Amino acid sequence: MNPLVAIGASVLAGFAAIGRVARFAGTALLRLLQPPWYPAQWFNQMLVIGWLSLPVVGLTAIFTGSALAQQIFIGGSRFNAASTVPAVTVIGVVRELGPVLGGLMVAGRVASAMAAELGTMRVTEQIDALVTLRTDPFRWLVAPRILAAVLVMPVLVLVSNALGVMGGWLLATQRLGFNSAQYLATTARYLEADDVISSLVKSAVFGFFIALMGCYHGYRSGGGAAGVGKATTNAVVSSFILILLANLVITVIVFGS
* Residue 56: strand, helix, or coil: helix
Nearest distance in Å: CB 24, other proteins: 17
Q: Which stretch binds other proteins (CB under 8 A): 62-70, 125-133, 179-187, 220-228?
A: 125-133
Q: Work out which of 20, 128, 222, 226 binds other proteins, going by CB under 8 A.
A: 128
Which CB, 130 or 244, lies closer to other proteins? 130
Q: Is the dihedral of CA 27, 30, 32, 38 positive or negative?
A: negative
Is residue 124 involved in binding other proteins (CB under 8 A)?
Answer: yes
Cβ closer to other proteins: 121 or 166? 121
Q: Which residues of 194-231 are buried (b: 16+ CB within 10 A; e: fewer)?
A: ebbebbbbbbbbbbbbbbbbbbbbbbbbeeeeeebebb
d(CA 229, CA 21): 19
For the chain, how many residues are written? 257
Q: Work out which of 129, 185, 197, 253 binds other proteins, going by CB under 8 A.
A: 129
Q: Write the interaction track for other proteins spanning residues 79-118; mark x where CB under 8 A is met and - where it is not.
A: --------------------------------------x-
Which parts of 34-178 fold into alpha helices (H)? 39-49, 54-77, 85-91, 98-106, 112-123, 126-132, 137, 143-174
131 near other proteins, rule: CB under 8 A = yes
3-class DSSP state of 39: helix
For other proteins, the closer of residues 109 and 139 by Cβ is: 139
The residue type at 189: R
Residues 202 and 103 sit within 8 Å (Cβ to Cβ)? yes
Shortest Cβ 124–other proteins spacing (Å)? 6
Smallest gap from Cβ 178 to other proteins, in A, equals 49
Which residue, 242, 20, 222, 16, is CA-closest to 115? 222
Q: How many residues bind other proteins (CB under 8 A)?
A: 13
CB closer to other proteins out of 130 and 201? 130
Residue of the chain from 126, 151, 227, 254 that contacts other proteins (CB under 8 A): 126
Q: Which is nearer to other proteins, 45 or 89 (CB)?
A: 45
Q: Based on CB atoms, which residue is closest to other proteins, 80 or 132? A: 132
Interface residue list for other proteins (CB under 8 A): 117, 121, 124-126, 128-135
